[in-house]
Amino acid sequence: MKINKCNSLVFAVLFGFGLSTQAQSKQWTLEESVRYALDNNITIKLSELDVKNAAIDKKGALGSYLPSVSGNASHSWNIGLNVNPVTNIASTQTTQYSSLGINAGVDIYKGLQNQNAYRKAELSIIASKYQLLKMQEDISLNVANAFLQILAYKEDLKVKNEQLTIDEKRLKRSEELVKAGSIPKGDLFDLKATLATDKQNIAISENNLLISKLSLAQLLQLKEFTDFDVIDDTNAKDEYNIMAVSPTEIYNKAKEIRTELKLAQTNLEIAEKNVSIAKGAYQPTLRGFYQFGTSASYSDRLVGTDGNGNPVFSGPHSVLDQFSDNKGHNFGFQLNVPIFNGFSVRNNVERNKLSLEKSKIDLEQKSLDLQRNIYTAFTDAKGALNTYDAATVTLEARQQAYNFAKEKYDVGLMNSFDFTQAQTLLTNAQSDVIRTKYSYMFRIKILEFYFGIPIVPITTK
């Protein structure tokens, strides 16, 4: 596999900078990484806003129980022939008219729509909290996976660097043996090619390590990733002995605690409330109302002159007196009986019934998915353990074969090509152990996750 030299250089510079500051940087444990992600991940923050939005919707649903009150005021000018709205006399003049009022209304009966809407709002808060919890659980698993990948690539890089060191020593010794005439010069070319391959493998491992750090840094919402590093505080043991629990036992417990099932059940209950709200539109509604209003008018009308020839105008009563005299009250009940509405209510009910059926199917599907995922995860974990054990046995055999080959090579009983083959097989065996080890560890985390054993305790706000 060829690597673009420019990209390799960029990655190498970034990675080298990270290594140079590693001594001063914080090394994160798995638990610290998960806790930090739960507090800072953007996706989780968005889910937290959804919880707050659901709480606002609940306040809105509660408000539908309360009366609605509004006030109004107006002032107008009528110029020319007009009827004074207060005196009810038509005259040609300029009249100013003011009115004040207040309106109040309250739903007495609305087909239980307000009650069902409030209960739906309460369920929506529960659903949004479940959604937040599920997001936190998913992020925890993603962080664990990214964390273990970093550890795997770090071990792989360590193996590759150790291999390079060994091959460099071999090359130096072989150069001395060639000068002494103990081995043919052609063996040097094989070793130089091996060294080039070692360096290429190291570059690939460095790139993989840097990319894995980038992935975890993104989950943690860290802006600086060059000095970001983790520390291996994990082990490849089944700490909670989860493999001794049968898949059926894990599934039975998961059905009681898994967030996705609780979320699906809550969404089903919300769908049932939506049907009840839609059916409420079939029923009559009764609303009580109260209105208060008052008004006053003002106009100047020329009625003659005084003794000095000055014009005399007739004016209305005092504005305050008019407001007091002209006040009025209006109250009562308004009954609305739906007779025909173009099938809109009926169609709305049918649509919500279909949504309810979808929610039932979704809950059933979630239960089936959970069962399948648990049995798959258990099978994967069992297979990963067997693969890890087999890789460990293979590594031991390859190590012995390599030691034997090295003894033969050191005394000149094996050529460089055959020894390189033994060394390559050992390196591959070491890589297999690393890969299978962390694969097994992650699958154990998944089983613990389904069994209700989180990486860190999760609490909803």
Helix 42-63 vs helix 30-40: angle between axes, to the nearest 10 degrees? 40
The pLDDT, as a whole number, for residue 224 is 72
Domain boundaries, the chain: 8-450
Quote the tokens at residue 440.
């097994």
Residue written as token pair 């090394």: 27
The pLDDT, as a whole number, for residue 232 is 80
Please list the pLDDT of the chain residue by residue as tens digits (461 residues).
334 434 444 344 344 444 334 334 678 899 999 999 999 999 999 999 999 999 999 999 998 888 999 999 999 888 877 776 656 677 677 778 899 999 999 999 988 999 999 999 999 999 999 999 999 999 999 999 999 999 999 999 999 998 888 888 888 877 777 777 666 777 778 788 888 988 999 999 999 999 999 999 888 888 776 678 888 877 777 888 889 999 999 999 999 999 999 999 999 999 999 999 999 999 999 999 999 999 888 765 555 566 666 655 555 567 788 888 888 999 999 999 988 888 899 999 999 999 999 999 999 999 999 999 999 999 999 999 999 999 999 999 999 999 999 888 777 777 777 888 888 899 899 999 999 999 999 999 999 999 998 888 776 65
Query: 46 in helix, strand or coil?
Result: helix
Contact criterion met (CB below 8 Å) for 295 and 317 = no
Distance CA 422, CA 414 (A): 11
Judge residue 235's burial from the number of C-beta atoms within 10 Å of its C-beta, 0-12 exposed, 13-18 middle, 19 or more buried: exposed
For the chain, the farthest-separated pair of C-alpha atoms sits apart, in whole angstroms, at 148
Report the CATH number of the 8-450 domain.
1.20.1600.10
The pLDDT, as a whole number, for residue 223 is 76
The pLDDT, as a whole number, for residue 86 is 56
Report strand pairing: 229-230 vs 27-28. Answer: parallel
Quote the tokens at residue 396.
């031991």
Quote the tokens at residue 68.
């609605």
The pLDDT, as a whole number, for residue 17 is 42
Query: 168 in helix, strand or coil?
Result: helix
Distance CA 297, CA 96 (A): 5
Contact criterion met (CB below 8 Å) for 268 and 356 = yes
Cross-strand partners of 314: 301
The pLDDT, as a whole number, for residue 133 is 94
The pLDDT, as a whole number, for residue 409 is 79
The pLDDT, as a whole number, for residue 389 is 94
CA angle 35, 36, 40 (to 5 degrees): 125
